[in-house]
Structure formats: C-alpha cells, structure tokens
Chain A
Amino acid sequence: MKPIRIAIAGKGGSGKTTISGILARLLARAGRSVVAVDADTNPNLASTLGIAADRTREIVSLPRTLLKREQQADGTTITTFARDPADVLREYAVDAPDGLRLVVMGAVGHGGVG
C-alpha cells in the first residue's frame, strides 16, 4: 500500500479540524502509521484527536531553528530543513489515541520574523 498523504483545507468553521481529527484516528485504527500535522495558526487539532487539555498545553510546536539559512557565494540565501524528520518526531511529536502522533506548527509572527 502506498502512503496516504492528505491536506485538508477549508474556511474557518467549516468543520475542517473536526473532520481531520476523526479521519486521522480512523486511519491509525486501520493499523497505519499516521502523523497528524496541525498547520493551522489557531491550533485545535489536539483536542479533536482526544489529547487531554493538560497535555495539549505542554505541546512544543516546531521551532524555526529547525531551518538552516545558508548564504550562497552569489549573496543569496537558501533555507533548508536541517534535521532528520525521524528525530524531529521523537523530539516534538505527541502521542494521540489509536497510536497516531501529532506535530504542531509554531506560532506565526513572533519575534518579528514574519
């Protein structure tokens, strides 16, 4: 079986996160290895997945230090993801019911990086 890679988009209030949470758990229940990624700037996927509130508050979102900026010889900068994703999962992913793992995007706009 091929890996299932899905993005779910929609307007705020459309039920996108509720659907994402249920769908992710059902895929995990079917015995698949599932990583759920909360890429919403107002992250709510954790509670939809059934992660308890006290654990939700302790989730560490992906820090932007995972990116490496390198200046090229011509003066331009390229940005690369400098870490092994398996290590990132071990470090930042939280366990959710049915054995799936959740990763949360960092807050937008902090520190004026924009």
Chain B
Amino acid sequence: MCGAHATVRGFLGELVKQSETDVLVDMEAGLEHLSRGTGRHVSRFLAVVEPYYRSMETARRIAQLAGELGVTSVDAVINKVRDEADREAVHTFCVANKMPVVAEIPYDTSLVDAERAGRPALDFTPDAPSVTAIRRLADHLLSTA
C-alpha cells in the first residue's frame, strides 16, 4: 500500500466526515487513486474527455472503476473541442458509455497563453471562451448542490 495515496485518502475520509467544506480533488493522471478507492469520499466524479481515442478510452476505464467503487455518477467534461466533428465524436462516446455531459469546453489558445505566462487563466484571460465554459460548469455544480 502506497503511503502517500493512503495518507491523502485517510485525510479526505475524515475531512468529508467531520466538516461541511467543499472538496475538489485533482486526481492523478493515472488511475492509481481510483483503484485504491480515493473516490469513495467524493459524491461526484468528473472525467475530462478530449476528442481523441486514447482519451475516451481512459474516460471509459475511469467510469468503469468508479462504478465498481459504488460512485454512481461519473459526468463527462468535454475539453478541447475544435469543431463539429470533435463534438460529435465525444458526444457519441458519452452516450454509448452512459456518461452525462456536464460541460463542453472549446479548444482555446488563451489557456496556452496563460500557461506560458505562468498565470491562472481565470486572472489572465477571465473572459476567454474556455473560462466562460468552466464558469457555466461551476454554476451548474452550485445549482445542484
């Protein structure tokens, strides 16, 4: 058992039990946390999906593992959508895998610009299309809380 993962999982378990605070976990790129059960302590799972095969394949495995853990809702956040073909490919995937789409974020070079400047996009380009899409996602999460 990896100590670092076990520690963060233990902390999350106690935090969600003993407080009313909101918690947002940036999971690791691999599926380590999922297979170790960190996801048990959250009520909602968002899988970021890009319009290409390997990304969708990863999202499918995330949904599968989350299901095995008893996390019922795995929502898709579609990212880096460039055109109608992208949109159609990911939506088809999400429907086939029963993942409700809660956000669709366009491909947006202002995120790259912010990254290069070492600044959060929220401060650097607050009105960028991608930031606007994430703002809608935040509003959705707040309205369903």
Chain A min CB distance to B112 (Å): 10
Flag A1-13 by CB within 8 Å of B: 1 or 0 each.
1111111111111
B: interface residue count bin:
35 or more
Given contacts A14-B49, A19-B48, A23-B134, contact A6 B23 (CB under 8 A): yes
CB-CB nearest in chain A for B27? A9
In contact, A79 and B26 (Cβ under 8 angstroms): no
Q: Does A67 contact B (CB under 8 A)?
A: yes
In contact, A9 and B48 (Cβ under 8 angstroms): yes
Flag A29-48 by CB within 8 Å of B: 1 or 0 each.
01011111111111001011
A–B pairs, 20, beta carbons within 8 Å? A3-B21, A3-B22, A10-B48, A11-B29, A16-B48, A19-B105, A20-B24, A30-B142, A35-B22, A35-B23, A39-B5, A47-B120, A61-B4, A62-B4, A64-B4, A64-B6, A67-B3, A67-B10, A105-B5, A113-B3
